[in-house]
Structures are given as structure tokens and as C-alpha cells.
Structure 1
Amino acid sequence: MENDKKIVAIYARVSTGRQEQEATIESQLDEVKRKIIEDGHILPDENIFIDDGWSGELIARPDLDRMRDFALTGKFSALYVYDRGRLSRRFTHQEIVIEELSDKEIGFISLHDINALTPEEHVLQAMQGVFHEYERVKIVERMRRGKLFKARNGIVISGDALYGYKYVKKTDTTPTHWAIDENESEVVKKMFRWFVIDKIGINAIINKLSDEGIPTKKGKSKHWTKGPVSRILCCDTYFTGVAYYNKSESIVSKRRLKNEKYFKIKKNSRKQRPKEEWIPFDVPIIIEDKSFFDRSLQLLNYNKKFANKNKKFDYILSGKFYCEHGFPMVGDGKQGSQRYYRSSDKVRRNELRTCDCEGVNVFVVEGLWWKHIKDIISNPDFIKLKIKEYVESRAGVNTSFEQDILINKTKISNLTDQESKFAQMYAENLIDLDQLRGLIKQVKDRKFIFTRNLKKLERIKPVKVRINDEEISLLYDKAREVLQSQDFSDKNLVLRDLVSKIVLKKGGEVNTWINIPINTQYLEHGTERRDSRSSKCGEVHTF
């Protein structure tokens, strides 16, 4: 009997965190160890190979590679597994490993598959390997279709709630849903205030979050990074109350961020799906004033467009200055004591160039441009005219509010009448109890939507549509005071807020398109309606 004893090994694998938590590894090992004891073999501790949480699609796994290295050096005579699927979910990968073992005359014992001793059994074993791969594909497809069906029928699938929300499991009385996380929602509001009102950059926001000891969503790291902060600042769910399932899909990354040998999953990146494939579901609104979101997007786009990028020289008009052919005018570096804006078309090969615009001196054009801008926005008649135009354009907002409120109240009243009618029909035995419950549930669901819309509208303050000369004069005095001393960064802010485009014409003429963004909350006349936009002057000024 002693001569029959062999040195053997075990390989075990699970692919998900849930299997790890449910001790699936331990159950595999326990069953396989009992089989080894039953067969009378020896299992050294170093011959136990385990890959916890590793995808079966990948053949590159730490302990699988270590087991294959042990096999090459003859450190065991047989390998025990729970089933072939532990080696891999792909049939070709299974065959690669089993053939390596066979070449070294190492036995392969699977507790839940045929252990081949004859050519016929080898064919049957291979067929079982094919079925392991088919099983994986079938499980993935069944889960995908099941989740999509539930999501399309209003069931919240995603347990990974956005920052600011928490996932609430279903109970006997309520379905699964996202609820507001009070602590995280306050952090979201802080981020938007810091970014939009205080004009604090993303790096400064990260520092403030660290200084206040605010943890990340999963708490795995004490330090925030740019990615999560940027995604929060451009997420409209906090303002619209609509989140989406099926918004992205897993893909294999084109470029690995870390130069590592092993990765637990094959598809380690994500790609956004077309918007028509997104499945919406309702969540509570965290921030009521949508102007914060609009302004945040503007600032993010501005920061992306006008980032410093280690520029050697400052160019105030960069990003807004174009030649008459539509090419951006870019800084051409220092030539002697002067610097120039030149068309970006000039960097192309001669035969590909289409722009014949000459360059323009940086100091000349910026000086004339700034003087012209100061003259325009210091003109009290011009400021007064634009403020009045804006106020007049807002005159219909309150009427629209009142109409929306009346419509929702009428809908709620009609649905209440329907409830009474259904109750009367039940009392007259025209419908049974189950039919009554179904009809009442439909009515209540619709009433909930209209009631929520009504509460949103009632929370919005009416827009003041009158402004007097004294208020206009106050605004003008403040603007004139600020304009007296402006450094480079201040001029950049003016450019961002007031100028939409600057075009250089042949002969040196420069046209400037000016916006006058008048926001009611800056003038302290109440908040804007959520779907409002700043007015635009749309005039062309030449200097």
C-alpha cells in the first residue's frame, strides 16, 4: 500500500467576491481533500494552489502559473480539481493545461467530470470541457437578459449607487430603490458650492476633502482623486432625479494603466453605450437649482480648454481667437522682444495650407482688445439696455409656472375622482377585489408622479421681472470699480464670461462677439427657473 502513495496537488478557483464570502473555496478544498485521503495520497501544504476572485476567462493567474511550474519540475504526480471549470471556463485553456500535465505523465483527477483512461473517455472528457464553456456563456446571457427585463419594468438593478445615494434592498412593502445618503449628499452640495460659487479648482477641492477627513464612496482610500470629483461635478442625476442602468459595458482595455503581469479580470475597462440603450429610473433630487449644474459644465469645459499646460508665455485670447478661415490663432512663441498670434493652419505642410492670414502682434491686439472691452462694459447706456432686455425676456416665466402648477393639480384631482369611481364600481360588484387593487395601484403610481412634480414647482421662487434705475446704477458702479485694476487671470475671467468669439479679418480688422450674462441671482431678484438660460447680446463689435 505504501508503494501506491503519491505526492499530489490541488488547484481551486473562484471568480467573484460573493463566492469568496460564501466560502466556496473552502467547500471545494474540503471535498477534494476527502477524496485524496480516500485514495491514500499525500498532500503537502505547498502543493495547494488557490486563485481567489480570479476570472475563469484568463489563463494568466498567479497560483495557476505556480502549479504549472511545479508540474514542470515534477513536484507532484497527480493534480486534483473540483471540476474542469476550475482550470478555466475556456475549453482551449483547459486543454492546454491538461496536455502539459499529460506530457509530464502527471494524472488529472476531476471530482465532477469523467477521468479519462481510454481514447473514448478522452473524447467524453473534452466534450465536458466544451459544456463548461457553454455553461458560462449561457449563465452570462441569462443574467444579462434577466437584468434588462427587470430594469425595463422599473426595478432598480444597480446596487452600486452614485455618491450621495445609498442602495436600499426590497422589503415586504417597498421595492429596491436608491435613497439619499444624508452625509454624502451634503458633500455633493459642498463640492458644487466650492466649484461654482467659490471658484475652487478640482485639486483644491481634493485637498479640502482630505483636510475635512471625508472618505470616498467605498472607503478603500483616504484620498480622493480627480476622476471621482470630476464625475460628480458633471453628473446631472443630482439635479434631474433620473439615473440610468445599462449606461456602459465592460471591455478589454486597449492600454493597461499598470505594468503588471496578472489581472483578476479580463474586461478591466468600460465603454459608454449609445444613449438610446440607457434604461432610466427615478431617484431623489439632491440639488434643486439646475443652474449649478449648467455652470459646473461651463467651468469644466473652460478648464479643459484653457488649462495652463506648462505654457511658457501667457496668451489672453487663446481659445477664443480665430482667423477668418476658422482656424484657431495660437501663440507663436517669442521672436526677439515680440510675440505673435498666428493661424494654426501654418503648422501644416505648404501644399496643405489654405489660410493666408498674417500673424498679429500679441501686445498690440491684446491691448486694443482690452481697451475696447472696457469701453463697452463701462458704458452705462449699454449695460442698462441689456439688463432691461433680459428682464423683459423673463416676463413670461411666472405665467408658465402657474400653468404648470394648475396642470398638475388638475391631474391629481382627476385621479382622485377615478379612485372614487373604482370604489363605487367595486361596491356595485362590477369589478372584483383583485381588479380594484390593480386599478387603485395604477392610479396611485400616477398620482405620486404628479404630486412630486407639483412639490418641485412650488419650491421654485417666482422670478422678479422688474428692475429700477437705482439697481442698474449700482451694478454699473461695481463693474467700473472692478475694471480699474485687472491682472492676467482677471482678464481671462472677463474673456471667458463675456466673449464668445474673436475673429481676425484680412487687413488687421478684429471682430468680437460679446455675451452679457445677466443672472437674476447675482442681482438678488430671486433664483432662476431651472430650465432658464442666460441671455445673449449677439452683437458684433469691431476695433
Structure 2
Amino acid sequence: MNAIYARVSTEDQAKTGYSLSDQIASCKALLFKQGKTNVVEYVDEGYSGEFIDRPALTSLRDDIAAGRIETVVVYDPDRLARKLSIQLLVAEEMEKAKVELRFITGDYDASPEGRLFFSMRGAIAEFEKAKILDRTLRGKKKKASQGKIIQDFGLFGYSYDKANCTYTINEAQAAVVREIYRLVIENQMSIERVQKELKKRVLLSPTGKALWPSSSLHNLLTNRTYTGTFHSMKNRQQKTGIDTRKTMERPRDEWIAIPVPSIVDEVTFERAQRQLMQNKADAKRPFIHPYLFAGIMYCGICGRRMLAHHCAFRDGSYKPYYQCATQRYSDLRNTDLKCASRSLPAEALDAALWSKLVEALKNPEKAKKYIPKQKPVTDNKAEIERLNQMESELVKHRETIAKWFRQQKLSEKDADDELEQIRAQLIDIEERKNILKPVEAPTAAKMSFAEVAAKLRPLIEHGDLTADEKKSIIRAVLTKVTVVRTDKPSGKKPPVFKITWETV
């Protein structure tokens, strides 16, 4: 089998004219001329040549290692990689596998002369890349010094005037920005409460979602551009991997201030900063609930994990709860199975569970009534396959989001929001798969509940245990607690829980 490797990035399309169709056509012509018609294409679209971790290149290297490839044709060495070290590494892998490597723009062989030529081409490609980056940076600085905003950063409240390279106020969005500042300053709302208020008023996020991401609200409330000054050349991005970048702030003397129409004045902005600082300080007020069963508590309706949560009231009081993950993150999580579980008051539930556990440790026979009856094994193969398919589609979507970000079709904020949603859905799918997997029989002997209880009983009888000591005892005995609230939602009577648990 003969292979063609082609790669193109946004920069290449814009500046050097490499197109995938031209690369593939030229490589095919060379192979067909040699009478080699069994051809497979490996194409990386939108991937930088600075990193070796590219999907198509990785697949090609795997096939080379497996002995499936005889010849590899690449249009030019810099299509293989932008860095000489990567070019030489991949070429050496091909030589060891006795795979012929050909380039349209020049011949390469394993002779010293061929290696020298190949190395020179790679070094030149690296030099050209550095020159392109330098020219691009100098061009951006020149435009910024002329008062031009070089690209649309998707700043909510403004519309980008492409002809004049500046921002103009989008009055509809600007009204929402001013209202957000007012809610924080006058109503002294936290970002979480602002989220709920905006959702209640059906004021959609910049990406059209009902729930504003907290990061978007924080960025909006701390961005000085809204006061009338946009800072260009403030940040720079450093690639740390094929899909990862690190944003680093430049020294302040390198920033270039560009005037734009203001949406809020300086006084309003500073008042918002003081309120945010106050909110942060208030969040650290003394409120401690140990959540004794956090991490091992699961919803009795849908089987998903229960998360620790607390609710703040207008009088300044707080109450701790356990909430099903689908209720806590209903806008972010994968909720194909709508869960109707209620919030579980943590103080009452922890007290009830601890009391039952102490009773069971003192009399191990009583522990059996909380152990669920063994259900007949059901075949969940179809459901697991469906979840695997969803997982595969989400992974592909994650790669697409990363590609769109590299091609500047998405802003960094929008890309982060989308990737966070995908991450949350993947976690939820993994939890669902773990629930559906059949329980494997234990492979080694372990202590019985009665034996564990006998060791822990002296600690229980001692009394006056701290929260950490209680947690240690709980995790030494229980691996999973499943709870559902069964009382009617009247709010006047003590809560009633149906509890089952799995012991060590």
C-alpha cells in the first residue's frame, strides 16, 4: 500500500497557497507515474506543523510501524512538519521500516547527501516560519499604533466595524451589559445570582444559551474595554500542544491603548470591582458543613452521583444540600434520562445516615436491611453501545471545536464554553457506563462487615468523634450509598429518606 500525506493550516492557506487538493493531486501523479495505484490518503486539515501529535500523521506512523506502507509521498518537507527535529524523527521511522519517502519538491534518500539536503530544507522551513511570525507581529503592532483593532474578539455589547477596524456600540447588547453591572452594584448580586436572574428574564448569553457561563459574566464585569479603552497587544498565546495554548500577559509597557465608545463609566466599573471583591469575601464567611457522605452518595432515581451544594438565603443564612448531578448542572450535563429527584438536606441526611451506620456497627445484623436485594442481571449491551456512540460523537465534536478555534472561527471564550460542556457530558456518560457495567465477582478474600465492625466498634463507643474521624469510619465501611427522598414536599415535616448502601 502506498501513502500520501497532506497537511494544511489556516496560515498556509492564507500565506503560502498550499491547498490540499493540489498537494494530493501532485502526489498521486508521482505515484501513478511509477505504476503505483493502491493509494491511501492521510490528511490533516487545520493542524499546525509545529507538533507531531496530529490525527492523520499518527495514523500514518501506526500503519508504517505495522508494515502496511511501502511508499510515502509528501508535497514538501514542511508539509510533514515545520520543525526539523520532527521531520528527522518521522523520516528515521520510515527508514527503519524500509519505507520509501518521496517529496514532490525535491528528492530524499538515506545517503549523507540526501540527509544533508533534507536537513537544510527543514532548517529553512523553520526559519521561514519564524519570519512569518515576526512579520505578523510587527504588522499587528503597526495597525494597533494607528488606532485599529486588528480583529473581532467577539466582545459582547459591541459590533465590529471591519471597514474601519474598530468597535461600535450594539445598543441591544449594551443595554444587557449595563443591566448586569446594575444587578451587581445596586442589588449586590453574586455572579451565580446574576446567572439565575438573566435566565429568568430570558436574556440569552452571547452564544444564544439560556444560562450565561459564569466565566463570561466575570470577564464582562472585569473588562476595562467597556469604560472606553481597548488594550491591544495585551496578551500573547504560547502553544503547549496540538490542541492546547497558554495565554500569557505581556509587560504593561507593551500594551497599546485604543479608544472605543464606552458602555459604562469609570465610576461604575470601579464600583463593580469593589462589589466583586466583597462577594468574594462574603463567600469565605464561616459556613462549614462536613458533607460526611460526599463522594459515595448516589441518586436513588437515576443512579447518578449526588453533589454537595449549599443554598444562600436573603437573610444571609446558608443551608447545605446534596443534589443529583442532573439537577445541579441541568444546562450542562447529558440528561437523556430526566431525573425528578429532589434536593436532600445534608444536615438531616448526614445525621440519619450516621445514626443508622452506628447502629449497624454495634449490631452487624441490622446492616443487612440497608443492603439492596440482588437484582437479576440485565443485558445492558445496547445501552452501553449507545453511550459509546454518543461518546465518540462528542470526541469528534471536541476535535472540531479545537479546529475552529485554530482557524479563528470561534473566540477563545466560546471555545472554552463549548469544550467545558463536552467535558461535563463525557464525565456523565462515563458515570452512566460504570453504573451499567456488570459487577465483577471479587477475586480476593476480604473482611466481612462483622469483622470490620468489630475493629471499628471501640472508636464508635468512645464518642465525641470529629467530622474527619467520622468520614474515615464511613469510608472504611461503605463504598456506595443510594438515597431517595420519599416524603411529600410540604416543607413542614422532617424529611424521610429511603436508603440503601454497599459495604466493603
Interval of TM-score (by shorter of Structure 1 and Structure 2): 0.5 to 0.7
* Deviation by residue 1:365-407 (Cα, 9 ceiling, x = unmatched): xxxxxxxxxxxxxxxxxxxxxxxxxxxxxxxxxxxxxxxxxxx
* Deviation by residue 1:88-109 (Cα, 9 ceiling, x = unmatched): 1110011000100011110111
2:270 is equivalent to residue 282 of structure 1: no
Paired residues for 1:179-218 under 5 Å: 179-217=168-206
- Tell me the equivalent position of 1:522: none
The correspondence for 1:251, drawn from 219, 238, 246, is 238
Q: What is the rounded CA distance, in whole Å, between the counterparts of 1:214 and 1:43 in structure 2?
A: 57
Are the counterparts in 2 of residues 161 and 178 from structure 1 also a CA contact under 8 Å? no
- Post-superposition offset of 1:221: 6.2
* Deviation by residue 1:233-261 (Cα, 9 ceiling, x = unmatched): 1222212x1101000111356xxxxxxxx
- Tell me the equivalent position of 1:48: 41
The correspondence for 2:269, drawn from 293, 299, 309, is 293
- Post-superposition offset of 1:205: 2.0
Q: Give the letter aligned to residue 30 of structure 2.
A: K
- Tell me the equivalent position of 2:216: 228
Q: What is the rounded CA distance, in whole Å, between the counterparts of 1:212 and 1:32 in structure 2?
A: 58
Paired residues for 1:123-522 under 5 Å: 123-170=116-163, 175-217=164-206, 219=207, 223-239=211-227, 241-251=228-238, 263-265=241-243, 268-287=245-264, 289-308=265-284, 311-312=287-288
* Deviation by residue 1:130-177 (Cα, 9 ceiling, x = unmatched): 11111111111111112112212323223224221122122xxxx321
2:29 is equivalent to residue 25 of structure 1: no
Q: What is the rounded CA distance, in whole Å, between the counterparts of 1:50 and 1:90 in structure 2?
A: 18
- Tell me the equivalent position of 2:372: none
Residue 127 and residue 180 in structure 1: after superposition, are their counterparts in 2 closer, same or farther (change >3 A)? same
3-state SS, counterpart of residue 124 of structure 1 = helix
- Tell me the equivalent position of 1:438: none
- Post-superposition offset of 1:220: 8.2
Q: What is the rounded CA distance, in whole Å, between the counterparts of 2:187 and 2:249 in structure 1?
A: 32
* Deviation by residue 1:317-351 (Cα, 9 ceiling, x = unmatched): xxxxxxxxxxxxxxxxxxxxxxxxxxxxxxxxxxx
Q: What is the rounded CA distance, in whole Å, between the counterparts of 2:122 and 2:269 in structure 1?
A: 53
- Tell me the equivalent position of 1:447: none
2:60 is equivalent to residue 73 of structure 1: no
Q: What is the rounded CA distance, in whole Å, between the counterparts of 1:49 and 1:145 in structure 2?
A: 35
Q: Which runs of 5+ in 1 are unaligned?
A: 1-6, 254-262, 314-543
Are the counterparts in 2 of residues 216 and 223 from structure 1 also a CA contact under 8 Å? yes
Aligned residues: 288
- Post-superposition offset of 1:224: 2.7
- Tell me the equivalent position of 1:12: 6
Q: What is the rounded CA distance, in whole Å, between the counterparts of 1:137 and 1:124 in structure 2?
A: 20
3-state SS, counterpart of residue 306 of structure 1 = helix
Residue 38 and residue 165 in structure 1: after superposition, are their counterparts in 2 closer, same or farther (change >3 A)? farther
Q: Give the letter aligned to residue 281 of structure 1.
A: I
Q: What is the rounded CA distance, in whole Å, between the counterparts of 2:22 and 2:178 in structure 1?
A: 47
Q: What is the rounded CA distance, in whole Å, between the counterparts of 1:132 and 1:223 in structure 2?
A: 46
The correspondence for 1:95, drawn from 74, 88, 91, is 88
- Post-superposition offset of 1:283: 0.8
State the TM-score, normalizing by the size of structure 2. Answer: 0.53
Are the counterparts in 1 of residues 9 and 47 from structure 2 also a CA contact under 8 Å? yes
2:56 is equivalent to residue 63 of structure 1: yes
- Post-superposition offset of 1:215: 4.6
Q: What is the rounded CA distance, in whole Å, between the counterparts of 2:11 and 2:279 in structure 1?
A: 39
3-state SS, counterpart of residue 108 of structure 1 = strand
- Tell me the equivalent position of 2:106: 113
Are the counterparts in 2 of residues 55 and 265 from structure 1 also a CA contact under 8 Å? no
Residue 18 and residue 243 in structure 1: after superposition, are their counterparts in 2 closer, same or farther (change >3 A)? farther
Are the counterparts in 1 of residues 8 and 18 from structure 2 also a CA contact under 8 Å? no
Q: Give the letter aligned to residue 108 of structure 2.
A: N
Percentage identity across paired residues of the two chains:
29
Q: What is the rounded CA distance, in whole Å, between the counterparts of 1:18 and 1:185 in structure 2?
A: 37
Are the counterparts in 1 of residues 169 and 261 from structure 2 also a CA contact under 8 Å? yes
Q: What is the rounded CA distance, in whole Å, between the counterparts of 1:145 and 1:312 in structure 2?
A: 53
Q: Give the letter aligned to residue 221 of structure 2.
A: L
- Post-superposition offset of 1:71: 0.2
Q: What is the rounded CA distance, in whole Å, between the counterparts of 2:49 and 2:19 in structure 1?
A: 15
Are the counterparts in 2 of residues 168 and 178 from structure 1 also a CA contact under 8 Å? yes
Residue 284 and residue 10 in structure 1: after superposition, are their counterparts in 2 closer, same or farther (change >3 A)? same
- Tell me the equivalent position of 2:325: none
Residue 151 and residue 222 in structure 1: after superposition, are their counterparts in 2 closer, same or farther (change >3 A)? same
Q: Which runs of 5+ in 2 are unaligned?
A: 290-504
Structure number with higher relative contact order (C-alpha < 8 Å, ≥ 6 residues apart):
2
- Post-superposition offset of 1:223: 4.4
3-state SS, counterpart of residue 40 of structure 1 = coil
3-state SS, counterpart of residue 283 of structure 2 = coil
Q: Greater CA deviation, 181-190 or 60-69?
A: 181-190
Are the counterparts in 2 of residues 242 and 281 from structure 1 also a CA contact under 8 Å? yes
Are the counterparts in 2 of residues 12 and 25 from structure 1 also a CA contact under 8 Å? yes
* Deviation by residue 1:426-448 (Cα, 9 ceiling, x = unmatched): xxxxxxxxxxxxxxxxxxxxxxx
* Deviation by residue 1:181-217 (Cα, 9 ceiling, x = unmatched): 2332222112112211222221122234444554544
Residue 123 and residue 157 in structure 1: after superposition, are their counterparts in 2 closer, same or farther (change >3 A)? same
